[in-house]
Amino acid sequence: MKKVLVTGGAGYIGAHTVVELIAAGFEPIIFDDFSNTDERILTGLQSILGYVPTVIRGNCCDVHALHEAFEMHLPEAVIHFAAFKAVGESTEQPLKYYHNNLNSLLNVLQCMRNYQVRDIVFSSSCTVYGQPAVLPVDEKTPFLPAASPYGQTKQMCETILQDTAAASMDFRCTLLRYFNPIGAHPSGAIGELPYGTPNNLVPYITQTAAGIRASLTLFGDDYDTPDGTCIRDFIHVCDLARAHVAALQWLEKQTHVCEPFNLGQGVGNSVMELVHAFQEVNHVSLPYQIGPRRPGDIEQIWANVDKANTVLNWKCTHSTEDALRDAWRWQQHLKT
């Protein structure tokens, strides 16, 4: 089986991708420092897979630890998830984000060069587009200034990868621009596991519904949208995970490439619509209040996903309602 080093592989998207990699016949090697996840994810992987994949505890900013992982396991490809990802926090602690998100990628690329690994699937973000003037966005939509340091790091990382590809004909890369992943594995065994107060909407929703949080705060209802709340393109995390496998399989057939792909459902839903949908599909009541706008949030964005559909032969198979049911199942699993 082809070995794939999955940095951040015990994280939210990483763990779901590990499941899909194994289903597709790859051997994932998880490299994670567990700074934003914990052992419950490994227990969940054990429940789904019947075993725990190889796990190396390390930080991508520690180049020596990365070298040891490459030396020991000799991966043939890398999926690079490891990064700080909270938009709001990045506006408060920009240096933390620039240091971690840029250095981690640089170290991964250094190790890939040293061990002659040519394939990388990079975890990018729709934040690279800033607040676009025309919707939906496709991969040719020009970048505007990012609304947060987090978004800036993703723009910079894409530039680093494009420059690396331009300098080396022996390099293959996909830039996967996620929109808004939500949901959990349908088994309820793994899902999003934030530390402290969640930065993402759906974990805050599920924790409020479970009584862990007194009330959900929606950040702003005065945007220029139909109901005044931000509009996003929400995608089930299992669909997103499958896209990483599709990207890896596509890279194997290329000679030299650095190609971006949008990953979303291709539909915009408002934050308020998501709250109402959660209540309806799960038959729960959700107390919420309106708060001020959050720094770094853009007003609205959703994807044109035609390129991923045709080139990667990938499509979403789960609805937003499916994602909200699965997210609630995961939250209830955490309580048991």
Active site residues: 150
User: What is the rounded distance in angstroms from the CA atom of residue 236 to the CA atom of residue 315?
Assistant: 11
Cβ-based neighbours of 93, under 8 Å, separated by 6 or more: none
SS3 282: helix
Q: Are 17 and 248 in contact (CB under 8 A)?
A: no
Tokens of 58: 């390390």
Q: Is the C-alpha dihedral spanning 83, 20, 73, 164 positive or negative?
A: negative
Place of tokens 């009584």: 211
User: What is the rounded distance in angstroms from the CA atom of residue 41 to the CA atom of residue 131?
Assistant: 34
List of long-range contacts for 157-160, beta carbons under 8 Å, 24+ apart: 157/101, 157/102, 157/105, 157/122, 157/124, 158/122, 158/124, 158/128, 158/260, 160/102, 160/105, 160/106, 160/109
Cβ-based neighbours of 9, under 8 Å, separated by 6 or more: 15, 17, 18, 28, 29, 30, 31, 32, 53, 55, 79, 81
SS3 11: coil
User: Running DSSP on this structure, what letter comes out for residue 119?
Assistant: E
- Strand pairing partners for 149? none
